[in-house]
A and B are shown apart, each in its own frame.
Chain A
Amino acid sequence: MARKKIREYDSKRLLKAHIKRLKGVDLPLNVAQVRADTNFVDLLDANPWLKTTRLVVKPDMLFGKRGKHDLVGLNLDFAGVEAFIKARIGKVIDMDGCVGAINTFIVEPFVPHDQEYYLCIQSVRLGNEVSFSEAGGVEIEANWDKVKTVTLPTGAPASPEALAPLTSGLPLELRPAMEAFLQACYAVFLDLDFTLVEMNPFTLDAAGKPFPLDMRGELDDTAAFKSGKKWGDVEFPLPWGDVEFPLPFGRALTAAEEHIAGLDAATGASLKLSILNPQGRVWTMVAGGGASVIYADTVGDLGFAGELGNYAEYSGAPNAQETYAYAKTMLDVATAGADGRGRALIVGGGISNFTDVAATFKGIIQAMREKADAIKAARMRIFVRRGGPNYETGLALMRALGADTGIEIEVYGPDSSMTGICARAIEYIRDLDRSASAA
């Protein structure tokens, strides 16, 4: 939910289409996207400009500093671009600790230029910050003092007066065009529900028209229901819906995470799962966005952050069916690859306001019953703490589960401290390790 990064290709595509629609501006911009399954012949057909101009090619994977990693191909012809891509597609690289394979490239016209400008529009609480600098490009951080910023209050227009402080350093003859461009970008930013648009750099072409060289953007995905159609590419509709929200580089969704994301999308309730360490020995299934963070904190405080298998939360009153599907997936992952050293599952939560504890637990318990053998094989002990409507029934059902199936389960109610079961879980693991080393 909320702010999602989009590929440079999509940022530029959206800017070009909508700056034309909103302000009649024709940006001299062309972009093409290349993935592993792209047919280069079809690509040429769809984008004849690829034949007629020299080109730039770079990975479009949501990370920057591409030039500094030999990942940018400059001033190539189409054959050169093909070769460049073929040499790098699917290659696994390490970008500051994030390891992943490059699977998408962006190809654009190569535009020789002198001046590199910087533009950034970002959403803040009371309006939008517009930043501009005449010293953009790779050395932007070194020249950060040259960046000028104005905050346009919510609802206030991007008038020449409001933008004047930004362009005050420019030669007089450049100011009108630049202001017009800033206003047009601002209009697109607002209309499409962007939360961030950054062009570092943009330049002016031979005819004096501004256009972005490097661009990144973030959209507010909660606005999909109103702006989603505008995010789509009418000419080339995408298989995944209006626009792609790729995962951060180095993070691919596992099957379990994808499955849960699907469940989450299908319900008004919230169901989240992020796998951190599949071999981890401490797993959590906590109710609530706030409480789940605190449980993770507590496990971290106790020195077991490395053993945390996952971050997960469920909230917004999911029904028994939903928690059943959720818990089943979680338990599969949490009990997989058991090495006999024992694991702990923390089924925690605060005292809910309206989520029915008995109803949500019914689903979780059903899943646990089905996976009882796997749970026991993994030597997994379950620690439960919860309060809220019908909690007595919910906790009783958990106790009964233990009695019926032989699953080891410790059950606590709202009288016990919320995070006390973290210490209990780690004590359990430590005890197992002690007796294992003693034996």
Chain B
Amino acid sequence: MNPVQRMLDFDFLCGRPTPSVACVVQPGSAGGFQKVFFGREEVAIPVEGSVAEAAHAFPLADIFINFASMRSAFQSSMEALRQPTVRVVAIIAEGVPEADTKQLIAYARQHNKILIGPATVGGVQAGAFRIGDTAGTLDNIVACKLHRPGSAGFVSKSGGMSNEMYNVLARTTDGLYEGIAIGGDVFPGSTLSDHCLRYENIPQVKLIVVLGELGGTDEYSLVDALKQKRITKPVVAWVSGTCAKLFKSEVQFGHAGAKSGGQAESAQAKNEALAAAGAIVPTSFEAFEGTIRDTFARMVAEGAITPCPDVEAPSVPQDLEAAKKAGKVRVPTNVVSSICDDRGEEPTYHGVTMSTLIEGDFGVGDVISLLWFKRSLPKYATRFVEMCVMLCADHGPCVSGAHNTIVTSRAGKDLVSCLVAGLLTIGPRFGGAIDDAARYFQDACDRKLDPDEFVEDMKKKGIRVPGIGHRIKSKDNRDKRVELLQRYARKFFPATRYLDYALRVEAYTLTKAANLVMNVDGCIGALFLDLLHSSSLFSAAEIEQIVKIGYLNGLFVLARSIGLIGHALDQKRLQQGLYRHPWEAVLYI
């Protein structure tokens, strides 16, 4: 979940009327907005392209939280500090070079601004504001009573331990007022004592709790502040890292700054110094919780603290993603699909992986068989499909489809427009007869109609027999494509019942006129029926469905697309200008 969403959920829990995030900076972007939930409704948080633009557009926003990576965190943080309206800069990135952090520290000091981090999760002011991901889930926030202010001020280096301690404080005191994780770097932007001194000046903070760590001398400025009575509120402090003395060689712990250099930087030395200066120091981390509890109880008994009231938090609906993950909601799907699964390591066409198709002896015909017919057809069938595609790929520039494509290409249109312009002429009169041919041949043949009966029947109904007839080709000038298809089918198909029927129909129609030959649509239609029936791979119902839905025109559309694209590119290559049909070729009436 993104940190902005986390912050707005916190805002809502605390009862803020408006979100605490004024805008998001996405360097280089042109602006826009991000959708985030505020309670149950989505709101639009503006996005700006630069720090300066954001500060200018939102002058009331005085806190800058920087999630940039360590490579650019310095520049963007410095830019933020330079904005007069920005007062606090929190840097999340780990790995900012020390020299860069020192520059930020110097600038912040000079201009009285506060730096939190780098290398931190941030911090939280209970009931008021949360930096990014601090304190984790909403359940945790409510369990830690962070949605309303308590009396304890907390500071430590570690973000993870801060969250643990917020839990401890919720159990042992009336809760957190404010908690800051200063980060694990050698030079944090603000130190443990910086925040303790701040807490000293916040009236609502009655008790200060500190979790320090071995390495560095930060805790000693706290020791000095206690000695000089600049901090008078009770401080319960523990410095972790007592184990370092028990190891033989120097160990670099997880935080960059957690390495005991000299004796003074050890946990033991710091704990002793803090206790001597008046802080309440437990004997170990395990005893820390008890010590805090006792100190708080004592302060309440003495009247120094009136425990803050508990407040019920409003409920925030769970995110759909989280609820889905937890199995709490079921969401219906929008779409059903059964031919291709792209969710796995490699896509599968009806269960067959890409690797199998590419590395085996497969071709386009197999792909069509899988994606259109949802089964693996035998080699002779897939080869037949490929032949159809090859034979129907183009038929010259004069047919309707090509003509349209050529005109569109010459009009300077893009490739897809040219292709589609040609495809749109495919229908009952051009290339679209395969389905109809199959339908009628199947029906007539299955009903055992004699060819002449069938043809006369159609004539009576006023329907041209689909699959028969050609503008140019004739009895003595056969369509080579039809010949090739027939030859192949005779050789490889188990049976050619529908072809035979269609040929008997042709024989009859040829007695009427020489150009009533079987055309390529009819041939493909009849042969496809033969393929479907004689392959024994399809049930009668499936064949019925295939013919009814109209799969076979798809073959023509697929095939002719090859030629149409060719014509479109050809015109561009030949740099042909806009087409205008000659006046002479038009009969104006």
Q: Which residues of A contact B (CB under 8 A)?
A: 1-3, 97-98, 123, 125-127, 153-155, 190, 193, 195, 220, 222-223, 225-227, 248, 250-251, 268, 270, 272, 274, 276, 287-294, 296-301, 305-306, 308, 311, 313, 315-316, 349-355, 387-389, 393, 414, 417-419
Contact: A287 with B286, CB < 8 Å? no
Contact: A222 with B95, CB < 8 Å? yes
Closest-CB distance, A10 to chain B (whole angstroms): 18
Contact: B251 with A222, CB < 8 Å? no
Q: Is B258 an interface residue (CB 8 A)?
A: yes
Chain B contacts of A272 at CB under 8 A? 254
Q: Which segment, of B54-62, B239-247, B383-391, B581-589, faces chain A? A: B239-247
Contact: A1 with B133, CB < 8 Å? no
Chain A contacts of B96 at CB under 8 A? 222
Q: Which residues of B contact A (CB under 8 A)?
A: 69-71, 94-100, 102-103, 105-106, 109, 121, 133-137, 140, 156-161, 163-164, 167, 184-187, 211, 213-214, 240-243, 246-258, 267, 284-286, 289, 326
Q: How far is the CA of A354 from the CA of B136 in the complex (A)?
A: 6
Chain A contacts of B94 at CB under 8 A? 1, 270, 316
Closest-CB distance, A74 to chain B (whole angstroms): 30
Chain B contacts of A126 at CB under 8 A? 102, 105-106, 109
Contact: B251 with A127, CB < 8 Å? no
Q: How far is the CA of A195 from the CA of B213 in the complex (A)?
A: 21
Contact: A313 with B254, CB < 8 Å? yes
Q: How far is the CA of A85 from the CA of B70 in the complex (A)?
A: 43
Q: How far is the CA of A387 from the CA of B252 in the complex (A)?
A: 26
Q: How far is the CA of A91 from the CA of B64 in the complex (A)?
A: 56
Residue in A294, A313, A355 whose Cβ sees the most chain B Cβ within 10 Å: A294
Q: How far is the CA of A97 from the CA of B248 in the complex (A)?
A: 8
Chain B contacts of A97 at CB under 8 A? 248
Chain B contacts of A388 at CB under 8 A? 136-137, 140, 163
Q: How far is the CA of A254 from the CA of B243 in the complex (A)?
A: 22
Contact: A251 with B160, CB < 8 Å? no
Closest-CB distance, B125 to chain A (whole angstroms): 16
Q: A192's closest neighbor in chain B, by CB?
A: B99
Q: How far is the CA of A308 from the CA of B245 in the complex (A)?
A: 13
10 nearest A-B pairs in the assembled complex, by CB-CB distance: A290-B158, A289-B254, A350-B164, A288-B160, A305-B246, A2-B256, A223-B97, A290-B161, A154-B106, A300-B243
Closest-CB distance, B384 to chain A (whole angstroms): 47
Contact: B254 with A292, CB < 8 Å? yes
Chain B contacts of A123 at CB under 8 A? 98-99, 102
Contact: B284 with A193, CB < 8 Å? no
Closest-CB distance, B73 to chain A (whole angstroms): 11
Chain B contacts of A311 at CB under 8 A? 247, 251, 253
Chain A contacts of B70 at CB under 8 A? 222, 225
Q: Please, could you name 10 A-B residue pairs with CB atoms under 8 Å apart, sorted by A? A: A125-B105, A125-B187, A193-B98, A288-B160, A289-B255, A291-B160, A293-B258, A298-B284, A353-B163, A388-B136
Contact: A195 with B98, CB < 8 Å? yes
Closest-CB distance, B264 to chain A (whole angstroms): 14
Contact: B254 with A315, CB < 8 Å? yes
Chain A contacts of B158 at CB under 8 A? 288-291
Q: Give the residue of A289, A299, A417 whose beta carbon is less than 8 angstroms from that of B184.
A: A289
Closest-CB distance, A245 to chain B (whole angstroms): 11
Chain B contacts of A248 at CB under 8 A? 249-250
Q: How far is the CA of A190 from the CA of B100 in the complex (A)?
A: 11
Q: Give the residue of B135, B247, B256, B267 whose beta carbon is less than 8 angstroms from that of A1.
A: B256
Closest-CB distance, A174 to chain B (whole angstroms): 30
Q: How far is the CA of A288 from the CA of B162 in the complex (A)?
A: 11
Q: Give the residue of B98, B121, B134, B240 whose beta carbon is less than 8 angstroms from that of A220.
A: B98
Chain A contacts of B286 at CB under 8 A? 298, 301, 417, 419
Q: Give the residue of B164, B248, B252, B257 whose beta carbon is less than 8 angstroms from that of A418.
A: B164
Residue in A2, A223, A287 whose Cβ sees the most chain B Cβ within 10 Å: A2
Q: Contacts A272-B254, A274-B252, A353-B136 given; 12 further ones with Cβ under 8 A?
A: A125-B105, A154-B103, A154-B105, A220-B97, A248-B250, A276-B247, A290-B157, A297-B284, A299-B243, A301-B284, A352-B163, A417-B289
Q: Give the residue of A2, A299, A300, A308 whose beta carbon is less than 8 angstroms from that of B98.
A: A2
